[in-house]
Amino acid sequence: MARLEGEQPLADRRALVTAGPTHEPIDPVRYLANRSSGTQGYAIARALAAAGADVTLVSGPTTLPDPPGVHTLRVETARAMLAACQQALPCDIAVCAAAVADWHVAEAPQKIKKAAGQPPPALHLVPNPDILATLSQPAPTRPRLVVGFAAETEHVVEHATAKRLRKGCDWIVANDVSPESGIMGGAENEIDLIDATGCTHWPRLDKMQVAQRLVARIAAFFNSPHV
Ligand code: CTP
Ligand code: CA
């Protein structure tokens, strides 16, 4: 049946969104981080809520306010982000927009001190859990639609297509995060949306417009006859 204009197409759906960077402590006063602002993930959480979904946003450290109408959980590390996501299951839709650190540091319990005449300390990096791959695993709690992002600096579509298969997610939003693109930390995004049937290039848009367009695709997916 055709939907009425203004109706909330995701009214009966639960959604989980990850956003922002993670901070990985080196010692009690220092951390590893990245340039993610969280803007794109927050915009997606807002757009999902506007479409009627019950949204949990699991956010790394950002300067952004909690989006209205969204249940926002603040975490610091990748490990805490995974735990918060698992608490938010089951859900219908997961969108992993966070720039999760790939590694954490074997953390020093006290501030690392300079020692005269000694070489600088080496950081021992330990792999972080992959939240997107974990949520994508076949399980009774797997969200019906799992959407990942791919941050690439070269061969964007090729790398993102391989990433979709490796992670086991349904769609990948691929973007060019090379310094020349100006995307990382900026107000606009230019993406390729990759699914099992191929790749669609979207023009450069404001991040809120990207979010609305993505949510329209998600709503169309859930309102198609095969779901
Ligand atoms: N991701 C995640 N947990 C991680 C690393 C990444 O959930 N520990 C998610 C991101 O939120 C994004 C997707 O995986 O949706 C791809 O992240 P990206 O950094 O582009 O890919 P990686 O698999 O980490 O590979 P690489 O950084 O080497 O390109
Ligand atoms: Ca990564």
Alpha-carbon gap, residue 177 to 193, rounded angstroms: 15
**Enclosing H/E stretch for 189:** strand 188-189
Check if 17 has its Cβ closer than 6 Å to any atom of ligand 1: no
Site to substitute for ligand 1 among 149, 154, 191, 192, most atoms within 8 A of C-beta: 149
pLDDT digits (tens, 9 = 90+) for 159-178: 999 999 999 999 999 998 88
The answer to whether residues 107 and 25 touch, using CB atoms and an 8 Å cutoff, is yes
34 catalytic? Reply is yes
pLDDT at 1: 42
Ligand nearest to the CA of 132: 1
- ipTM for this prediction: 0.99
pLDDT digits (tens, 9 = 90+) for 185-199: 788 999 999 999 999
Instruction: Evaluate if residue 99 carries a pLDDT over 70.
Output: yes
| Residue 91: C-alpha distances to residues 70, 87, 101, 139, 182 (Å) | 14, 10, 24, 12, 33
At residue 6 the predicted structure's pLDDT band, cuts being 50, 70 and 90, is low
Question: What DSSP designation does 128 have?
Answer: P
Ligand nearest to the CA of 100: 1
Instruction: Evaluate if residue 115 carries a pLDDT over 90.
Output: no
